[in-house]
Chains A and B, each alone.
Chain A
């Protein structure tokens, strides 16, 4: 075998000083007596590193185990979703929203549908809204279970993760009963839903929620007051209120730093006014607070699911607005007009009146927004998506500055960066 030689000279000396987009400028105190300043080890963490989810990359200059300087990269799963939104009809784009935050695909579906419905002025019937609300909360629970679980796995607590994972699978079974798919649901339609919930689904959801509440108690007992867990998370990855505002944090990460914002309460859509829930707030903005906020939000969401299951009533799931109503199959197969309508509806899509709207919803990670600008056609003129993870990921570099390598893993796990909505 040829014996290759490897030299440090091959690495450009000023790799970290070049104005790389995404690098956050932090003033590091230079010690004039530090002779080894130029010979720090530069470690490339990711994208195949186990903690980087296969889609993120952090290049860090390490002094021992301390990260002196770093820059974070993303874009490994970029699929040009926003451009796709300008080339697909409004219905066709629903499947692309599944792949944004794939841990809570339903929330993305619902938010997108809400955005288009708002542009068109379509009113949904009661039952559809209740089902949508339950779906959002179930997927919020799934997402939070994954986040707290994965951040625990990153710190070595594997059993905790699988406790939650079991309930997550049960939740996916509930979702499967709704739409036949588990992960990428595409359950929403503009102005309605794909199918009505099957008979007795509400009761199953309620039973699941009650069971999950018990499991959450177990998980709580296993980890929350564990000494090692507290040592690893308290005061680690701190992002205080000012920094959160600067980096436009939202969702549980912002609430963990004491920013009292929750779009479900502050900008109520669907029937969030009619259910009781609390918005948990913490003060320190460290990994432990983010964990606590998420755990409490799981409980609140489960309570919302239970309340919804009690309040939901039978009824239509489709808006009677002619523009968005998918024709019934009976009409399609038995009448000429119905067939033509069906053909035109799916081949051309429906037209959305000219205008623009930015619609937001409290997704499990934070503020998920769809900006749709329409010029009256069946495809949007411009579409932009605000994925909360983009903003959260920007905060990683200042969060880990001067911290140990192990803290970086804890911090990344706790802000729950989902590559799908980060790269879009």
Chain B
């Protein structure tokens, strides 16, 4: 590779890491202020404008807390577990496209994606599912009954829902005939139908509504968020798998949860809501800008990135919204839902899509 490629890669990596490390603190703030908004409270509002710096204070607290291993833990796995939870969470973002390609004035093309893998979707699922090992390790090595409960519940839940998760996107992969996320996003720009003056694009949600529903429910389960937060269901098993972890180790689990959530939202947006495709109205804005050459290119890419992040932000808010509205499932009900409702629905979706493709509908 040339120096230019290495330089671009380093810049992209740095940008992505900074972006991902910013999202959890902001999401924690959104979560706390948002829940306060729903519950007639104020939420943290003391430190910084609107309490925005509260997350910073929390982070400092986590860093400076004494990190003391409890007695009788299995030290090796106990130290390893938080790392294993946080590394795959960051790794999956390598295959996520944030905008289309940017052509520099020199004629070189920059992919706004860390690695344009041919098996992008499979990579994301493969690496993403490594996270369950950290939970099992955490629960096992803590030598605590509640932590063990949490990890057992979690591994059960993740394995069960991964099936539905994997099956639900098969419909999308069949429709767009690609495993490359960039291809899938680009294919979603085609028009699906014309409703008067409005052109409905071929977004995943419009051609795979059932698959989307299954996917949405399954990612809630995969990210351990309410109503599927049984691995850490506070009132039942205290804090679940991270019960014995404190200080930065707990913070790493916390970070991984929010990064996973962000990844889930990125996947929802990329597969079902056109990824970085511009929001309605923005193409007109680019046309009206009167720019040419590289500035036009930069504006387009910038707006694509903004569109992507706006869509992701909406789904992140959706996660918060659901969390503060619904109660939690019981464990057997969760399993029933996973195996008796979500799994057959995902299978049905695959069969239906295959049938429609066979009849030439897509």
Contacts and interface: CB of A to CB of B under 8 A. Distances in A.
A and B part of one assembly: yes
Contacts of B41: 162
Contacts of A51: 235-236
Contact of B143 (A6, A49, A231): A6
Contacts of B149: 65, 405
A228 B327 contact: yes
B145 A163 contact: no
| Interface class of chain B by DSSP | loop
A232 B69 CA distance: 36
A228 B327 CA distance: 6
A277 B69 CA distance: 58
Interface in B266-295: none
A154 B324 CA distance: 13
Given A163-B39, A405-B236, A155 B327 contact: yes
A156 B233 contact: yes
Interface stretch (B76-84, B184-192, B213-221, B328-336): B328-336
Interface string B290-327: 00000000000000000000000000000000001111
Contacts of B104: none
Contacts of A405: 149, 236-237, 331
Interface in B233-266: 233-238
A232 B40 contact: no
A406 interface: yes
Contacts of B329: 228, 231-232
B226 A156 contact: yes
Contacts of B143: 6
Contacts of A153: 235
Contact of B40 (A155, A162, A231): A162
B72 interface: yes
A65 B230 CA distance: 12
A16 interface: no
A166 to B, nearest CB: 5
B145 A406 contact: no
Interface in A19-65: 41, 43, 49-51, 65
B331 A404 contact: yes
A4 interface: yes
Contacts of A162: 39-41
A50 B326 contact: no
Task: Select the residue from A166, A223, A228 with max chain B CB neighbours within 10 A.
Answer: A228
Contacts, number: 84
B229 interface: yes
Interface string A394-424: 0000000000111101000100000000000
A229 interface: yes
Contact of B38 (A43, A159, A231, A404): A159
Contacts of A49: 238
A157 B234 CA distance: 12
Interface of A: 1, 3-4, 6, 41, 43, 49-51, 65, 152-159, 162-163, 166, 222-223, 226, 228-229, 231-232, 404-407, 409, 413
28 contacts: A1-B71, A4-B71, A43-B145, A50-B235, A50-B238, A65-B149, A65-B332, A155-B235, A155-B327, A156-B227, A156-B229, A156-B326, A156-B327, A157-B327, A158-B324, A159-B35, A166-B40, A228-B327, A231-B329, A232-B333, A404-B330, A404-B332, A405-B236, A405-B237, A405-B331, A406-B330, A406-B331, A409-B236
Given A157-B327, A232-B333, 16 more contacts: A4-B72, A41-B145, A43-B145, A51-B236, A155-B328, A156-B235, A156-B327, A158-B35, A158-B39, A159-B35, A159-B325, A162-B40, A228-B327, A232-B330, A406-B331, A413-B235
Interface of B: 35, 38-41, 69, 71-72, 143, 145-146, 149, 226-227, 229, 233-238, 324-333
